[in-house]
Structure 1
Amino acid sequence: MSVKFRRSLLFASGALLAVAAFAVPVVAGTAAADPGAAGSGNQARIVGGEKASLADHPYAVYLTDAGGNQFCGAVIVSSTSVATAAHCAKAVAKQDIRVVAGREDKRTGDGQVLGVSKVWVSQGYTDPTKGGDVAVLTVRGQFGYRPAKLPDSGDAGLYAKGTQATVLGWGRIADGGARSDYLRSAQVPVVSDSECRTDYDVYDQRTMVCAGYAEGGVDACQGDSGGPLVVGDTLIGIVSFGDGCAKANRPGVYTRVSTYADDIEAQAKPRLLG
């Protein structure tokens, strides 16, 4: 089994091209990479999904490098911060990361483009398959869009088998397929811990959660790392890794946000403006 992150990097003509690869219904990507190489892939957008609206999901954002190349997704968690995957936060130097909010169609100039002043990565993170694949980026400025809610102790039921969740992103519609210019979404059911452990021997139920259909067909793909998995407006997962896109018995693996909610909240606390 070849486990892939949802983001990969390559250099072409001196420009950094970032691509997120993942195996659950998820967001967009950027430049193409070798879809067969571990840790790399083509841009991914929701597989089996549909066009989505920021009016319904105003907290969905994406990350670019300084050259405007999208390499990951993210989600607004406060007026000054976004949560994303740790492997996304470590892919590009802090001074070169841009957070694009309020831009449903990437070809437009809508919304906000904010630089990043601070990067927090979960302590002990090494790679997505070992857990801790979560980061918080503090932006220079403030968002004018509603943040997603973080789960609390009363939201344990959101992780129950069969719970319908929504994954969001701007990635490819198929492994190696064309990239999307628009925000897309897909509905995927939460998979039980025991089933996901059967599908992935690296699965850790404390730090990860799986979502997808046994028969495949709906999933995230390359370029969607760091994007949100939500139930209603509550963030339960962050796109992390998977085996290809939308394969049978290979659900997408997400960071389990409930495990890191306190850390995310502490890091996302809006700055006091003096």
Structure 2
Amino acid sequence: MAKTLRRLFTVLAATVAAVGLMTTAPASAETSSDTGVSPFIVGGSRVSTSTYPWVVYLATSTGGQFCGGTLVKANKVVTAAHCVSGRSASSTRVVHGRDDKQSTAGTVATVSRIWVHPSYRTASSGYDVAVLTLGTNINSTYLPLATPSDTALYAAGTSARIYGWGTTSSGGSASRYLLGATVPVTSDSTCRTAYSNYSPTSMVCAGYPQGGTDTCQGDSGGPLVAGGKLIGATSFGRGCALAGYPGVYARIASYYSVITAQL
């Protein structure tokens, strides 16, 4: 089974279940009638931006959601490089404060600048981080970045949270609503067993040995949160929520200096 990008280009586009890397982040959802949502991210439940106001999603200029992101300053969003590499700022929007993608709640912000890590080539080779500068400030709580001294947040077994509007199964339908779930950070050795290209200096993995809870297509760029800080950005994985294959995230602490230089 090929590694898949955890990215969904638009809500209406067909989800790609196995093409290269899983650069869109966590958890998708099997959703979705107008009256309800499946209780999975994969393996999660519906949550609200009123509780997690720093969770945002990236959209095309016509409104199609394709990735997630995290508000880290009033006009700055951290996401995955694979989400925005090659995109123009003018064709990109950031949606804040909208749980239901079919609603008009919250703020739709334009993007004035896209910074992609200069060493980024592919998600599986690391450096999968980007910073968006918004055309307007958003009056909201934002999430602090993990720093190089936050080593405890990356210890195996640390409880972390994932969020996104992606699919609830590999190749499934995108969730209409924001979903969240809890996953443990895995050890570097566990992640290296699953992915031969795993780099502990640029990546971190999270997930249960038995699978069942994960990010999925459309969640790329979204947050992995522990200790009240952003410790990862959803990057790639093999399938979604498979046993033995945790999700892979950009290790934010490793990029702390270059990210803060953009803030």
TM-score, normalising length: structure 2: 0.90
Q: Does 1:76 align with 2:71?
A: yes
Q: CA deviation at 1:40?
A: 7.6
Using the TM superposition, name which of 220-229 and 82-91 deviates more.
82-91
5+ residue gaps, structure 2, are 30-40
Q: CA deviation at 1:30?
A: 5.5
Matched residue, 2:17 = 35
Show the 5 A alignment for 1:1-274: 1-7=1-7, 18=9, 31-39=13-21, 44-45=28-29, 46-90=41-85, 92-268=87-263
Q: Which amino acid aligns with 1:186?
A: A
Deviations 1:198-218 (A, max 9, x none): 110010000000000110000
5+ residue gaps, structure 1, are 9-17, 20-28, 269-274
Matched residue, 1:271 = none
| SS of equivalent residue, structure 2 residue 166 | coil
- Between the aligned residues of both structures, percent identity stands at 46
Q: Which amino acid aligns with 2:257?
A: D
> C-alpha distance in 2, partners of 1:41/1:190?
18
Would the aligned equivalents of 1:41 and 1:176 in 2 still touch at CA under 8 Å?
no
Would the aligned equivalents of 1:34 and 1:41 in 2 still touch at CA under 8 Å?
no
- Aligned CA RMSD, in angstroms, stands at 1.8
| SS of equivalent residue, structure 2 residue 150 | helix
Q: Which amino acid aligns with 2:158?
A: T
Deviations 1:74-95 (A, max 9, x none): 0001011100000111153221
Deviations 1:54-105 (A, max 9, x none): 1221100000011111110000010111000001111532210000001111
> C-alpha distance in 2, partners of 1:262/1:40?
26
Q: CA deviation at 1:41?
A: 10
TM-score, normalising length: structure 1: 0.87
Would the aligned equivalents of 1:30 and 1:179 in 2 still touch at CA under 8 Å?
no
> C-alpha distance in 1, partners of 2:57/2:257?
23
| SS of equivalent residue, structure 2 residue 201 | coil
> C-alpha distance in 2, partners of 1:41/1:201?
16
Using the TM superposition, name which of 91-100 and 223-232 deviates more.
91-100
Q: Which amino acid aligns with 1:102?
A: G
Size of the aligned set, in residue pairs, is 250
> C-alpha distance in 2, partners of 1:91/1:242?
22
